[in-house]
Amino acid sequence: MLLGSWAARVPAVKEARGLGEAELGLMLLFMGLGALASFGPAGRVSDRIGAVTLTRGLALAYLAALPFLAVAPGTPGLALALFFFGITHGAMDVAMNSWGAEVERRIGRPVMSGFHAMWSLGAGAGAGLGFAATSLGAGVALHFTLAALVGLVLLCPFLLQPWTSARREGPGGGAPVFALPRGALVPVGMIGLASGLGEGGTADWSAIFLSAVAGAGESQATLGYALFAAAMLAMRLCTDRLARIAGPARVARAGALVASAGLALLLLPAPWPVALAGFALMGLGYAPLYPLCFSRAAADPDIPPGQAIAGVATLGYGSVLMGPPLIGLIADLLSLRAAFLLVALAALAAALLAPSLATAARSPGRTG
């Protein structure tokens, strides 16, 4: 919900701050750098103190980070706020996915996609709040403050649920600052990277694409990410069952190809409803990729779950946050459609790498 709220108001922040596309891309770069810096430490701390303990603390910090985006003074203040927002977002992703992997191992069947469906539900709700806020003329500061308060009310009962996380120690000193996947997890991380380009590009550029390229109005432009998230939610509610029936590799390949088809619609010189359909197909296609990547990482026999997830997240969620600045630079040099062509090529590459996820269906019950 917090990320969806931010995504819906990117055009408003861009206009209020007087930022060009390249300048906005630079601001988003700070968000990506914060996330990248957080993945490795979050993975190690999650293994050391327990995923649930880290998740609880990070949730409160993440809630506080959203309103700061609206009130940070000047461009340097916005850069600092986005850096902190990226840190809390990235570390929270590693911690809560590690917690989800513990649940998956305990019950002995794939459920990670169901957890990610709730992420999609929150992202869609945040984008919906953004649509309501822009329609009512609410300021960004009021919108972000209310979103954080609503998030706090929703989170508290779940953060207090009893759970004891396993504690694992990975390799000793000399661990790298940035976690990277290794061995069999390298192609898994590359699938995450391709998916992250699509998810991050949609979160930060869908509203601008719809308004500046496809000709949608301001309120209509907020619907792109909302529709993307709704489609992702619907598919993620089905992914665990599909993975048990068809296997994760086939599900991932089909998803990457559907995402490519959605991106192809964005490349057409068509009116904004066609672009909306493209974002919907992207949501359906990208939906299974992250959950399957994280299930495979957490099941790795050689790397502790927190650090395995952190390595995949560096490429996956790292591209969610680092991809938008890249899209901004390409859009400034060429066009926004040219930038989304790069995203489409990455989705096709993910389809080719899908066999690397084949072991995920056999591993959730491992207690290792």
pLDDT score at 360: 41
| 161 Cβ contact list (under 8 Å, min separation 6) | none
Distance from C-alpha of 76 to C-alpha of 81, rounded to nearest angstrom: 9
SS3 for 20?
coil
In CATH terms, the fold of domain 2-157+179-362 is Growth Hormone; Chain: A; (1.20.1250)
pLDDT score at 176: 53
The domain locations on the chain are 2-157+179-362
CA distances 235 to 15, 242, 312, Å, are: 34, 10, 22
pLDDT score at 361: 38
Q: Which residue has the tokens 């990482």?
A: 297
pLDDT score at 278: 93
Distance from C-alpha of 61 to C-alpha of 89, rounded to nearest angstrom: 9
The pLDDT tens digits for 39-98 are 888 888 888 888 888 998 999 999 999 999 988 888 889 999 999 999 999 899 889 888
Q: What is the DSSP string of 241-285?
A: HHHHHH-HHHHHHHHHHHHHHHHHHHTS---HHHHHHHHHHHHHH
| 221 Cβ contact list (under 8 Å, min separation 6) | 11, 206, 207, 208, 210, 211
Q: Which residue has the tokens 């269906």?
A: 361
| 340 Cβ contact list (under 8 Å, min separation 6) | 201, 209, 263, 266, 267, 327
- Where the chain has pLDDT below 70, the residues are 167-178, 321, 359-368
| 42 Cβ contact list (under 8 Å, min separation 6) | 54, 58, 90, 91, 94, 95, 306, 310
| 68 Cβ contact list (under 8 Å, min separation 6) | 81, 84, 85
Tokens of 300: 């790795």
Q: What is the pTM of this model?
A: 0.75
Tokens of 119: 């992420």
Nearest to 299 by CA among 356, 360, 250, 344: 360
Distance from C-alpha of 22 to C-alpha of 19, rounded to nearest angstrom: 8
pLDDT score at 255: 96
